[in-house]
Amino acid sequence: MMTPWSAVVLAGGRGAGLGGVDKASIEVRGRTLLAWALDAVVDAREVVVVGEAVPTDRPVTFVREDPAYGGPVAGLLTGVDALLHPAAYVAVLAVDMPRVDAHTLRRLTDAARGAAEGPAAGADGAVLIDPDGRRQLALVLRTERLAQVRPGREEQHGHPLHRLLAPLRLVDVPARGDEHRDVDSWADLRDLAE
């Protein structure tokens, strides 16, 4: 039986490299980045989007971190706190990664579950890595373990993601093709649209 998982889509950044444009509403191949992200987490039991509420045809909960623009850790924890029915695992995905799809999330959830139950038992989740071995903002974490390492509310704003993840044992899942590519600039957007 497949272990259920929830998802948090991080869509509340400033989009500084794009002149402050809301990344979630940017279109790639005729679809918004948010639509691509929601397609990627289609298998999730519940989805929370941390960002401005926008029309969508998917049943999602929109929330904002307080104060706004607190970074990925504040967004992630705000999203987890907004889940009505937290699952054993939570997937975390940046809205600006349109090449991540449902197959990517299945590989991540399978790796996280397999690591927790298989020969590498004791792992706390799985993370997508780029061809250079750098971790990307596409990961699946054991919800219980995340709760154990989360900083206090006053420390979440601006808390570095690498520091949150440091005590966790994560299985590296190599990106296939351009899965690791994100949109940080207009050049990135042009390249992904081709």
Half-sphere exposure of 27 (CA within 13 A, CB side): 3
- 39 touches 1 (CB < 8 A): no
Whole-number pLDDT of residue 35: 93
Question: What confidence score (pLDDT) does residue 1 get?
Answer: 41
pLDDT in tens, the chain (194 residues): 456 899 999 997 655 555 556 777 778 888 888 999 999 999 999 999 999 888 888 899 999 987 777 888 889 999 999 999 989 999 999 999 999 999 999 999 999 988 555 555 678 999 999 999 999 999 999 999 999 998 877 777 777 888 989 999 999 999 999 999 887 655 665 666 65
Domains and CATH numbers, the chain: 5-193 (3.90.550.10)
Cis status of the peptide bond prior to 4, with omega within 30 of 0: no
The structure tokens listed for 2 are 């497949």
Distance of CA 154 to the CA centre of its chain: 22
Would you state the structure tokens that stand for residue 113, as one six-digit string? 């579950």
Contact 126, 173 (CB under 8 A): yes
The partner residues of 170 in beta bridges, in order of sequence, read 125
